[in-house]
Structure 1
């Protein structure tokens, strides 16, 4: 890759597929340069994106559960001449188990993947955002952070931690011009769960009863909101958790 001359970029983790790829595509459609980070190092799947926009996406390989990984990514980007102006912490995982029998190894795995990785990525990007004069960090949480979901002790706790991390950093780093927001989706159709959420599937039938609008969201719904947070429309928004769940979490 040719070294850019002080071009700004937004780093998106977990960007190779699903919600992360959709976020990368939405940012590219805004005309931004995107660094898509994933374990595979694959270019985000952005079907139908104009070639000149797709060319503005650079894929990098990194395992965000390794604390040093994002520090290395940020250092390499700076060496290449990139100026980081934002970060989307999308990488994460889900697993379930009965709470009385959940292996503690699973607890640590989810906390490392969903919470510790957010902290280490934010720490890694912080000096770069300060150097840039400020920026935006969007953490992808979950509406499970406020629910009591059977067999999801570790997942719910890790996503609740994302909200707390967001609030603290938003307050602490505001003086540096850095905004931090938590986007907490509900049930979202992606390539990973499309079968389970297909029409006629038991989970889809359940959600049609629980979501007031009768259907789950899409990766594009999440991506559109995240991209909007990087525009002037979100200039005074920081520290909040935005629930994107079709009102499922408040429906009675």
Structure 2
């Protein structure tokens, strides 16, 4: 990334789906690094994270954007530029998960999943590309899933969409490397967030299943994913690009 920016305090990282869950945790971790974060969501609300101090919250910029609408992220990026911000990174976190028997999966549901989880990654990357080039480079982190390598019943569209995220990551990493842009896929396993806390609670059927399948006998947290993503924006991730990093506590490889 270029060091020629005359005002690095006006740099920011765009995070989609940042109002809650993993996206909110990523926004916290990046702010803890001292970065400004453009927090995109359908509502435009700032991340809902209890106990965040005012110093961190002051680093967040709330913007409305529906990633399934191709022009929304581009519009948000133009607004940031008009307000004097320079985009130096992107985290494609927004997505949806819908289950259905494969034999009964409707084309509408298939398209919904692909649009939200894969096509949106392409359009958001395209939206920030000119600004990353102008900045001398940057980092794109795509949030995939460890389902990309598994055969999960009733998850045909979801698994396919997340496998597409890995492919998109690899192609863009190779194609945009000459512009100083790194692209990385972070693929979480079962992660406990405010959105699924009840299902993940000890004693429930899902938690009982995970206790058997995850070697460490507990799911990850949104903060685990946020901390890893933030690391990829630090010098520690300097020579890493094009890879998929699985954050699943070893579940995907456990026999």
Match of 1:54 in 2: 57
RMSD: 1.1
Does residue 112 (structure 1) correspond to residue 115 (structure 2)? The answer is yes
Correspondence for 2:206: 203
Partner of 1:167: 170
> Matches of 1:47 and 1:30 in 2, distance apart?
19
TM normalised by structure 2 equals: 0.96
Matched, 1:228 2:220: no
Tell me how far apart the structure 2 counterparts of residues 47 and 176 of structure 1 sit (CA, whole Å).
Answer: 38
Q: Which among 153, 157, 162 is matched to residue 154 of structure 1?
A: 157
* Unmatched 5+ stretches in structure 1: none
Aligned length: 249
Deviation digits for residues 89-136 of structure 1 (CA, Å, limit 9, x no counterpart)? 000000000000011100000000000000000000000000000000
Question: 1:6-155, aligned counterparts within 5 Å?
Answer: 7-155=10-158
- Return the alpha-carbon distance in structure 2 between the equivalents of residues 90 and 160 of structure 1: 15
The range that moved more, 164-173 or 187-196, is 187-196
Residue 45 of structure 1 and its aligned partner are, at CA, apart by 1.6
Asked whether the equivalents of residues 14 and 90 of structure 1 are also in contact (C-alpha less than 8 Å), the reply is: yes
Displacement of 1:191 in angstroms is 1.3
Question: CA 1:233–1:5 in structure 2 vs 1: closer, same or farther (change >3 Å)?
Answer: closer
Partner deviation per Cα, 1:112-167 (whole Å, 9 max, x = no partner):
00000000000000000000000000000000000000000000000000000000
Change (3 A) 1:6 1:78: farther
The answer (yes or no) to whether the contact 1:46–1:54 under 8 Å persists in 2 is no
Give TM-score, length-normalised by structure 1: 0.97
